[in-house]
Amino acid sequence: MPYSPAHKPKTRIRILNAATALFKKNGFENVTIDQVMAEAGLTRGGFYAHFKNKEDLFVACVENGMSLLSSPVLAKLRKAERAGGDWVTSFAELYLSRVHIENPELGCALPTLSAEVSRSGVRAQEAFSRLINQASEKLAWKLAKEDDVPGIDRHINLESDQKLRNVPVQYEQDAIAMLAMMVGAVVLSRAVDDETADKVLASARHSVAHFHANQSISGKQKLSKTI
């Protein structure tokens, strides 16, 4: 009996979902095609009907919207925001936590993949660059929105690919610096003992909160001068 027209797209999504979880957990180099297909509940032979090789698969994962944050984390952030909490502080507390350190497959792809993608092909590096740019752009938008910067879009979905507009350059620079700090802290924390990891995470959380508070004050002062 022939497969339905929907079979191939559904199979591709199964492979992408399995690969995304494995890439986040084990990195790029340590994941094999056999592992991906086994995770998806499929045989290796079916892989090449969808992808040329592992790099092609990785690029497809990014293009499919490789989420930097899991659904539970995004739900907690939305809850904190509705309750009037500071989004950046809540984000730092969730990102720089032992739960994130100990469950890489449920967390951000950047700490796990950064070092390994640098040794892979150009297409994978370009796809990973897009992932970093998207993350920093959305963080910049959140920083600017919290400072009530005039003209900032009010209804951007952080899980979508919508283009963010009217974000001042300073916020983009701050977002990249903050993202680099947090990703670096996670990488270090996963490489050391528990006591050292706790120190690294606590220091990074403090630095992010301090950095954000200072930049927020500075940003509002600049805005008041221009109004």
pLDDT at 37 over 90: yes
CA distance 137 to 146: 14
Give me the domains of the chain, ranges plus CATH numbers: 6-60 (1.10.10.60), 64-224 (1.10.357.10)
Label residue 1 by pLDDT band (50, 70, 90): very low
pLDDT at 173 over 50: yes
Specify the pLDDT at position 165.
Answer: 60
User: Residue 177 carries which side chain, given as an amino acid letter?
Assistant: A
Q: Whole-prediction pTM value?
A: 0.75
Mean pLDDT computed over 36-55: 93
CB 104 within 8 A of CB 49: no
Mean pLDDT computed over 161-167: 61
pLDDT at 189 over 90: yes
pLDDT at 3 over 90: no
For CA atoms 104, 105, 110, 114, give the dihedral sign.
Answer: positive
CB 58 within 8 A of CB 19: yes
